[in-house]
Amino acid sequence: MTAGRQGFPVDMREGVIWAYRHLLGREPISEAEVAIHLGHTPESLRAAFLDTPEYRLRAGQSALGAALQATLEHFRPFAMESAAAGSWRNFLDVQTRCSFLPEACQAWSGRVFGPPGSGISGVHDEAEWYGTLRAVLNARDRFVVVELGAGWGPWLVSGSKAAEKVGITDLHLVGVEGSLGHVEFMRQHMLDNGMNPDRHRLLHGVVGITDGTAYFPKLDKPSDTYGSEADYTCSGDPGTMEEVPSFSLQTLLADLPVVDVLHCDIQGMEADVFRAGRQVVDERVARVIVGTHGRAIEGDLHGQFSGHGWVLEAEAACQFVQAPSGPLVLSADGTQVWRNPKLTAA
C-alpha cells in the first residue's frame, strides 16, 4: 500500500489498472506492464500516463471527434431513407453502387450509413470527413475539389453534395484515376447522383513528378482492386499494363480557381509528388487530405507541410501487422489533413 494525498492507503496495483482503463481506454496487457508503474505515487502515476504517446494519440482522436461532431451540425438533416437495391446511401444522400466494390460489399445493398462517429458510417475515416466538411464551410460562392487516385470519385460527389447542402451550387471537379474501369465507375457515380460528368474533368491517367507517360495495371475486375501502383519508368509488361498520361500538379492546377480541397491517395508517391508541386500547392490549394502508406512518407509530409507554414488539422497514422514470418505488413492506410493558412482561416 502507498499513502495517498490525504494520508489514506492506496492500492497502487489497482490504481495502475484503473489508469489504463480511464486514461488509455484499455486493460493492461500483462502483469509486467502493471509492474512498470508500481513505483509511482498516485500523483506521479497520472503525470506519467498523460505523457505517453498512447495517451496523446487517444486525446487527439477525441479532440477530432468533438470537432467533427460540431462540424456535422451544419449539414443536418441527415439522409435517413434506405437506398435503392444494389446501392448504399450515406448521410449526405449520396448513393453508391455496391458493384463498385468487392463482393463482400453486396451485403450493403439498401443500407443507409450514418455520419462519421455514429458507428455505422461506411468506408471512410473521420479525418477525411472532417477535412472535406471544413473545406465546404470555408468555401464561398463556389467549391473546387481535386481527387487524385480517385477510384469511383467518392470525394468529388460527397464533397459536392455537402456544398449543395450549405447553398453552394457552382462546382468545379477534377478526378484523376489510372484505371479505365474506375474512371467509368466515376462517371456512373456522378450520373447516379444527379450530376453531369461532362461538366467536369475526369482524367484517365496518374499524377506524377513531371508531365509524361506512365504505365498502370490493367484490372480484369476493377471492383476487386483498389490501391494499384503506377510505374513511372514505363518498363511494364504491355500484357498486364496500359500506357497512361502522367500529370504534374503544376499542370493539373494551372487553370483552376483556388482549390478548396485536394484529396490524394496515390499509393506511396505522395511525398515525391507534393515536393515537386510545392510552389503551386502553396499558392493554389486551401486544404490537402492525403493518404499515407508508410512511416517515412508520414514524416516526410510532416516536414514538407509544416515547414511551409501549413497547419495539421487531423491525422490518423497508418497501421501495420506483423506476419508470422516476421515482416511488418501495412494493414491500414493513414490520413493527414493540412490547412493552408495563407488561403483559409480555421
Q: Where in the chain is the domain with CATH 3.40.50.150?
A: 61-77+121-339
Give the CATH class of 61-77+121-339: alpha beta
Cα 228 from Cα 216, distance rounded (Å): 8
Q: What is the mean pLDDT of the chain?
A: 88
Name the band, by pLDDT with cuts 50, 70 and 90, for residue 10. Answer: low
User: Is residue 94 pLDDT above 50, yes or no?
Assistant: yes
Q: Which residues contact 161 (CB under 8 A, 6 or more apart)?
A: 92, 93, 94, 193
Least confident of 48-57, 174-183, 232-241, 327-336: 48-57
pLDDT for position 345: 82
pLDDT of residue 17: 87
Gap between the Cα atoms of 310 and 160, Å rounded: 24
Measured distance CA(242)–CA(265) in Å, rounded? 20
What is the pLDDT averaged over residues 119-124? 73
Q: Which amino acid is at 217?
A: P
Residue 326's contacts (CB-CB under 8 Å, 6 or more residues apart) are none
Contact 100, 152 (CB under 8 A): yes
Does residue 334 have a pLDDT over 90?
A: no
pLDDT, position 5:
45
Higher-scoring residue by pLDDT: 268, 15: 15
Closest CA to 195 of 74, 92, 77, 94: 94
CA atoms within 13 Å, Cβ hemisphere of 231 = 14
Predicted confidence (pLDDT) at residue 316 exceeds the cutoff of 80: yes
Task: Find where cell 518498363 sits.
Answer: 235
With CA atoms as reference, report the closest residue to 264 among 190, 334, 319: 334
199-211 confidence digits (pLDDT tens) = 999 999 999 999 9
Q: Is residue 59 over pLDDT 70?
A: no
Strand partners, 290: 264, 336
Residue 217 has which C-alpha cell? 495495371
Q: Shortest CA distance to 180 belongs to which of 210, 158, 152, 146?
A: 152
Angle at 337 between CA 286 and CA 225, to 5 degrees: 110
Which percentage of the chain shows pLDDT scores above 70?
91
With a cut of 60, say whether residue 21 has pLDDT above it: yes
User: For residues 61 and 55, is the Cβ–Cβ distance under 8 A?
Assistant: no
pLDDT band for position 87 (cuts 50, 70, 90): very high
Rounded distance, CA 269 to CA 280, Å?
A: 17
pLDDT band of 50, cuts 50, 70, 90: low
pLDDT > 80? residue 277: yes
**By the 8 A CB rule, do 259 and 146 touch?**
yes
Q: How confident is the model at residue 147 (pLDDT cuts 50, 70, 90)?
A: very high
The total of other beta-carbon atoms located within 10 Å of residue 292's CB is: 26
Q: Which residue has the higher pLDDT, 32 or 310?
A: 310
Q: How far apart are CA 278 and CA 309, in angstroms?
A: 12
More confidently predicted of 237 and 180: 180
Helix (H, G, I), strand (E, B) or coil at 203: strand
pLDDT above 70: residue 305: yes
pLDDT of residue 8: 44
